[in-house]
Chains A and B, each alone.
Chain A
Amino acid sequence: MSTDFTWLIGGPQGSGVESGANIFSKVCAQMGYQVFGKREFYSNIKGEHSYFTVRISDQNIHSNVNDVNLMVSFDAETIFRHFDEISSDGGIIYDSELEKTDTDRVRTLDGPFKERLHKLLESKNKPFTIAGVLEVAEEKGVKLYPVSFKSLLETLSEEVDNPRLRGLVRMYNVLGVSLSLGLIKMPSNSLVDSIDDIFSKKPKVAEINKQAASFSYNYASDNFKNFHYNLIGTEKQPDTILVQGHFGCSLGKMVSGCRFQSYYPITPASDESVYLESNEILEIENDRPGSTIVVQTEDEISAIGMMIGAALTGTRSSTSTSGPGFALMTEALGWAGINEVPVVITLYQRSGPSTGLPTRHGQDDLLFTVFAGCGDFPKIVYASGDIEESFYDTGNCFNYADKYQIPVIHMMDKFLSSSVVTCQKFNPKKISIDRGKLLDKVEGEYKRFAFTDDGISPRSKLGMDNGVFWNTGDESDEYGHITEDPQVRIKMMDKRMSRLDLALESIPTDQQAVSFEVHDFTIISWGSTKGPILDAQSMLKKEGIDIGFVQIKLLHPFPTEYVKSLLKDAKVLIDIEANHSGQLGKIFKQNITRDIDYHILKYTGRGMTSTEIYDSLKRIVQNKAEKREILSHGA
């Protein structure tokens, strides 16, 4: 019997939900499990509800599922919002002090949610209290594990003779994690190690936390009984790492030789830049240290301007942003296009339009990105499906930028950026560095935009001996000086645009799109839906239902011929995306004159679970589905 277990921890923002989840994830990973964790949070610093679901398994997993098997909460809101997600064989560890709390006491419960909850409780004749919702859960079969967090700390403080521990509310997260691990019988040694790791810079804090952890772990194993799930560990997969969402691109940038990154703070992109700056000094094989200059700018316009300025010196340069920031960058994106500047923009999408759902997931920016900027100019739009992929894709994106002298937009999203997952250790040697026609030296007369057979001119860089050139956002001649000559205009436009065909011809097809089998029913999708789709696909396979899946990575220029050839045996096409209008479907139809039969869409701002994709796919196969299946799971 394989293990598949989902744990949820929730609490007000700022109460340590994330560090609690990190400890839990680390312990599970160290015990050999595969981990897929995901954080949800409000656009808020302190007080609003945030939660983390961590799914663990002894099989490969790529997504969350709907059911939660164990929830631990030290506040009322978490229970109100999530009690109905607990599976009938699952459990809830909660602070018994909260039982009498009613919904009106929780100021952060918004009106529409309260209305829905009250309706449900009314129909079941329950009071609008924690006790009320817990009764509903219990009637379904959920096991309740009440414990007073306050008295837990009081007893501990007496036992270790440390009065400071009383009322240390900040440690509720560690108590919650340890109670959970004690309940599921996860061996406790890795818990202590993980706490040491996470508080490595604060040994005193680590000490107190370790005491609290052992104490509550033992409390749970002694007092909590009859839980369905025991997770005693499994065989560790070799070369496994536990990574956060932005590690793929950050580490990919370091390895690819990105040495300049400018950015303006925006969720969910900033983590990447902060991580790059935290690791700004780089170890270089057989050489002195290198470094990444990370500049926090005054706005996104400055971020892209600085990046382009740096790229003109021959430095591999990048910026990271989200939709609203990218909107500000579009004028300069065109400048990079007409001046043939290789740059990489990492675009962590979130839910729009405008500020939209600023801390929530969305894939709403595909059409905008493909068409971003005024005028006709070439660009590459590329999307990664998971964190591990994003590491290698970052390397490819820099190579595309250099080879085709073109701006590249590497699309990521909030689903990826706030995930914590186990994956195969990144292998830097699998990344290659191809700088295209970047010159080492210039001899004789130099023309930056010289006409060539393949449309790509040898590239000098600012400050290089004898390589003087000019740039302008106006149309220019081969030197880079302004021209409005109609014949030169034709040649220059053709020269620039021709690299789209060149890219399609020369980018290996396995980097353009990936086929995970093609069957009568076949999914097309892009980006972070890959994980939940793969899991839903294998759930259906176990029931004897074969569904195909083609992941499209190169979104512009669109690999029409290759995708067409992959899909030639597919009879029913299903487009899955986290946006309202089925944006990939529109691009697909524009390029491949073929209709999409079904859309599975989600635009609640919450990532898709494999469960809901599975449900929709099943309806499609049974011919019971809507043409637009709209998903809505998740608080």
Chain B
Amino acid sequence: MALKLADYKTDVHNDWCPGCGDFGIVNALQMALAEMGIERDKATIFSGIGCSGKTSHFINTYGVHTLHGRVLTFAQGGKLANPDMTVVAVGGDGDGLGIGAGHFVAAGRRNIDMTYIIFDNGVYGLTKGQASPTLKLGEQTKSLPSPNTNSNVNPIGLAVASGFTFVARGYSYDVRHLKDLIVKAVKHKGLSFLDVLQPCPTYNDVNTRDWYAGVDLAEESMERHSRIYKLEDTKFDPTVNYAGEVEVNEKLSQALVKSLEWGDKIPTGVFYQNELVSPFSTRLTDKIPNYLENPPAKQIISDTGSPNTDISKILDSLNV
């Protein structure tokens, strides 16, 4: 029986603030899972800590709500041990780009076939609105005693530089577009990163829904002035088609330059995609040929309680 959107929802009470951008992301994720028809027990959502960390409890698949900053570590371990399952990791921008930035960079180097979604709202919501790594220098959101003294991290740029092979940005109030991006990210062979701009209605009074919609730009005009636009509506081509260094460098630099665009125009869509980089599983099968057919989670380790691993050759080599 085909799974419906409702099958991916749990009846856990959702305690996010009314109007929270997180709702759009969890809806898009559930829609993407339904569209791809991924069985509930063949997917695991790993989540970090904070408001976004609760996501895994709202989705009716395996859900692992981990530790602050560490979501990628748990997710990678799970995927490596059981490569048959679909793995999506989610977390806030403070989680992934502050306390967890080291894991973010290291994950890029591995290129394990999974998806990482950052809920990017510029504040630490659950601890009452402190500045997070994506808040711009000098901006002062509601609960900051003084303007932000740190410069911001560029999530797209960092992902591209770290080796993520699919890098995209979505907007939480454009749920259909976000769903499409999630489907692409999950289907991508390698590590995907999705930066989702997500207004925090309670603590971020700078990058609000109206701000993204460009209400301030419209002033007296009745035209739409939304800051958000889609890269696919432009001539931007994010895909690496040949493994040649020249093309790869061109697409990487183009993505980096595009990621710097901010202010009146904010690009969403796919910034970079390269499926010619070997996923980690290929690097493993190069040395362990049957890794994918017989991964750790599927291996039989005993025969009625007795070990079946034969180490006699090693032991013989130690004989004196």
A interface residues (Cβ-Cβ under 8 A, vs B): 26, 29-30, 236, 240-243, 247, 251, 254-257, 259-260, 262, 279-293, 295, 297-299, 301-317, 331-332, 335, 395, 422, 425-426, 428-429, 431-435, 461-474, 480-482
Given known A284-B310, A305-B66, contact A426–B76 (CB-CB < 8 A): no
For the complex, is B261 an interface residue (Cβ under 8 Å from A)? Answer: no
- In the complex the two chains form, is A433's CB within 8 Å of B77's CB? no
- A312 and B296 contact, CB distance less than 8 A: no
Whether the pair B311, A255 counts as a contact (CB closer than 8 A) is yes
| B67 CB–A CB distance under 8 Å | yes
Say yes or no: B311 contacts A254, CB within 8 Å: yes
A-B contact pairs, 14 of them (CB 8 A): A236-B320, A241-B315, A241-B318, A255-B309, A285-B310, A302-B70, A310-B297, A312-B74, A316-B301, A432-B305, A462-B85, A463-B41, A463-B62, A470-B57
Residues of B within 8 A of A468 (CB): 40-41, 60-62
Which residues of the partner chain A approach B302 to less than 8 Å between Cβ atoms?
Answer: 257, 433, 435
A296 to chain B, nearest CB (A): 10
Binary contact readout B71-95 vs A (1 if CB under 8 angstroms, 0 otherwise): 0111111111110110000000000
Report the tally of A-B residue pairs with Cβ distances under 8 A: 243
**A474 with B81: in contact, given A251-B314, A259-B299, A297-B73 (CB under 8 Å)?**
no
- Do residues B315 and A310 form an inter-chain contact, with CB atoms below 8 A? no
Task: Please measure, in the bound complex, the distance between the C-alpha atom of A498 and the C-alpha atom of B16, giving whole angstroms.
Answer: 35
For B260, list chain A residues within 8 Å (CB): none
C-alpha gap A467/B81 in the complex (Å)? 17
**CB distance A242 to B318 under 8 Å?**
yes
A307 touches B77 (CB 8 A): yes
- Assign chain B's interface to a size class: 35 or more
Once A251-B311, A463-B82, A470-B63 are accepted as A-B contacts, the answer to whether A306 and B102 lie under 8 Å apart by CB is no
A291 near B294 (CB under 8 angstroms)?
A: yes
Distance (whole angstroms) from the CB of A359 to the closest CB of chain B = 25
A314 engages B297 (CB within 8 Å): yes
Residues of A within 8 A of B308 (CB): 284-287
Q: How far is the CA of A472 from the CA of B64 in the complex (A)?
A: 6
A195–B276 alpha-carbon span in the complex (Å): 46
Docked pose: A255 CA to B77 CA in angstroms: 21
Contacts of B5 in A (CB 8 A): none
CB-CB under 8 A from B307, the residues of chain A are 255-257, 395, 428-429, 431-433
Q: How far is the CB of B42 from chain A (nearest CB, A)?
A: 6
Residues of B within 8 A of A260 (CB): 77, 80-81, 296
B106 touches A297 (CB 8 A): yes
Residues of B within 8 A of A290 (CB): 294, 299, 301, 309
Interface-side segment among B181-189, B207-215, B282-290 = B282-290
Closest to A433 in B: B302
Instruction: Evaluate contact between B73 and A462: CB separation under 8 angstroms.
Output: no
B313 is an interface residue with CB less than 8 A from chain A: yes
Closest to B78 in A: A309
B residues less than 8 Å from A305 (CB atoms): 66-67, 70, 72-74, 77, 103
A285 touches B303 (CB 8 A): yes
B310 in contact with A241 (CB, 8 Å): no
A428 to B308, CA, bound (A): 9
B21 to chain A, nearest CB (A): 21
The verdict on B44 contacting chain A, using a C-beta distance below 8 Å, is yes
Residues of B close to A303: CB separation below 8 A: 73
List 3 tightest A-B contacts by C-beta distance, closest first: A305-B73, A257-B301, A309-B77
Given contacts A240-B319, A291-B290, contact A471 B65 (CB under 8 A): yes
Q: Which of chain A's residues has its CB closest to B291's CB?
A: A291
Cα distance A535–B218 when bound, in Å? 87
Name which residue of chain B comes closest to A33, CB basis: B320
Task: Kindly state the separation between the CA atoms of A428 and B75 in the bound complex, as whole angstroms.
Answer: 33
Within the complex, the shortest CB–CB distance from A316 to chain B, in Å, comes to 7
Q: How far is the CA of A255 from the CA of B62 in the complex (A)?
A: 30
B319 touches A241 (CB 8 A): yes
Judge if B146 is at the interface, Cβ distance under 8 Å: no
The answer on a CB contact under 8 Å between B319 and A473 is: no
- Closest chain A CB from B69 CB (angstroms): 8
B106 to chain A, nearest CB (A): 4
Determine the chain B residues whose CB is within 8 A of the CB of A26 once the complex forms: 320
Docked CA distance A436–B31 (Å): 38
Q: Is the CB of B73 within 8 A of A470?
A: no
